[in-house]
């Protein structure tokens, strides 16, 4: 029995895409933070990490994901995603964001950490609320140097 070429190509395409990791929507009020074990509820501060094998971890705060990522091999992550503070519930690339740490903007685990897709949005809120701006690399360095692990 011969299969048409189109069926073969379709099966090949399905096989290739089935192996690729992808993110999934966070289930607010249901998902449990992979780091602190609290329920994920904040649509402004939640985060998600996807391993290269496709395992999805959700976090109730960006600081939980930063701590988790620092305790695990970052090269095994396909996606590091955070919610944009100004667009609650919308996941964006954590490594391309601007971060604001401002004591006038509380976050779930007490790091006062918020993410912004656009630098101008972070700067505007910084002008209003105060605080320090960081990119992904500087944020990780800040956590390491300050020993910021909120759960040890």
pLDDT digits (tens, 9 = 90+) for 68-91: 998 886 558 999 999 999 999 999
Q: pTM of the entire structure? A: 0.82
**Is 146 exposed, middle or buried, given 0-12, 13-18 or 19+ CB atoms closer than 10 A?**
exposed
How many distinct structural domains can be found in the chain?
1
Looking at the predicted structure, is the pLDDT value of residue 130 above 60?
A: yes
For residue 88, give its domain range: 25-146
DSSP state of 52: T
Mean pLDDT check: name the lowest of 4-8, 46-50, 110-114, 138-142.
4-8
Q: Is the model more confident about 37 or about 75?
A: 37
Percent of the chain with pLDDT over 90: 72
In a domain, 100, yes or no: yes
d(CA 97, CA 75): 19
In a domain, 5, yes or no: no
């Amino acid at each position: 029995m011969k299969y048409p070429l189109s069926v073969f190509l379709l099966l090949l395409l399905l096989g290739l895409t089935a192996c690729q990791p992808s993110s999934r929507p966070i289930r607010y009020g249901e998902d449990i933070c992979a780091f602190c074990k609290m329920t994920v509820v904040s649509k402004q501060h939640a985060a998600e990490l996807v391993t290269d094998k496709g395992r999805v971890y959700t976090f109730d705060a960006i600081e939980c994901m930063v701590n988790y990522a620092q305790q695990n091999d970052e090269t095994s992550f396909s996606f590091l995603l955070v919610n944009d503070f100004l667009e609650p519930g919308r996941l964006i690339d954590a490594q391309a964001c601007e971060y604001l740490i401002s004591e006038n903007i509380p976050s779930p685990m007490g790091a006062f950490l918020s993410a912004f897709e656009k630098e101008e949005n972070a700067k505007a809120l910084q002008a209003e609320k105060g605080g320090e701006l960081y990119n992904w690399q500087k944020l990780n360095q800040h956590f390491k140097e300050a020993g910021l692990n909120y759960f040890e």
